[in-house]
Amino acid sequence: MPVAAAVAIIGILVAASASFSAPPFSELVRGDHGGITEADGVLPDGVSPFDDRYPGVANLDSDLLAALREATTDAARHGIGFSLNSGWRSPDYQDQLLSGAVAEYGSEAEAARWVAPADRSPHVSGNAVDIGDSDATAWLSEHGAAYGLCQIYANESWHFELRPEAIGVGCPAMYADPTEDPRMQP
């Protein structure tokens, strides 16, 4: 595929993903946690990637966290602030999110478009972050490859993972949603 065509397709995917908003179950991430606490990875509003006092930040993969902090610093020079809605999560927290998504969407198959089981979630392994501000997600979608930070799913404009090889060649093509990601298969 010619580079110009690939760039055009990526631009369309990024624009389309920017129009998606977090699914309704995301209120569980921000709201009542039924015994799940900050120790499980719950983050209060506005947490910076530099705020290690929260396990949701401190338990992130060190390379992911370093790349995220570098991107955060550079984005701030352009007036863009980063906050995290979610980072590392305990298996219990991930299970609670999955249960909430199943209840919201009515089936495990539909919930799988938004939440992975704990044994396959990159959040549980500390390898994913959800960026909390649309300006920051847009900035990271455009500039993230320079840091190895890539949007992985077209339906989740807020979800980023570290792909170090992207620094030289750009981010890989996005999956439509997690159900297309081979890592999410049982």
Q: What is the pLDDT of residues 74-102, one digit of tens each?
A: 999 999 999 999 999 999 999 999 999 99
pLDDT digits (tens, 9 = 90+) for 7-65: 333 333 333 333 333 344 444 444 455 689 999 999 999 999 999 999 999 999 999 99
127-148 as b/e: b if 16+ CB within 10 A = bbbbbbbeebbbbbbeebbebb
Select the more confidently predicted residue: 22 or 157: 157
pLDDT averaged over the chain? 86
pLDDT at 112 over 80: yes
The residue behind tokens 């570290």 is: 162
Average pLDDT over residues 114-136: 95
Query: Residue 186's pLDDT is what?
Result: 84
Query: Residue 35's pLDDT is what?
Result: 85
pLDDT band at 4 (very low <50, low <70, confident <90, very high): very low
Architecture of the domain delimited by 3-184: 2-Layer Sandwich (3.30)
118 phi, psi to nearest 5 deg: -55, -35
How many Cα atoms sit within 13 Å of 22 on the Cβ side? 19
Angle between helices 62-76 and 134-143 (to 10 degrees): 110
pLDDT at 157 over 50: yes
Query: Quick check: helix, strand or coil at residue 116?
Result: coil
Query: Residue 33's pLDDT is what?
Result: 56
Give the percent of the chain with pLDDT over 90.
Answer: 79
| Contacts for 55 with CB less than 8 Å, ≥ 6 apart | 38, 39, 40, 41, 88
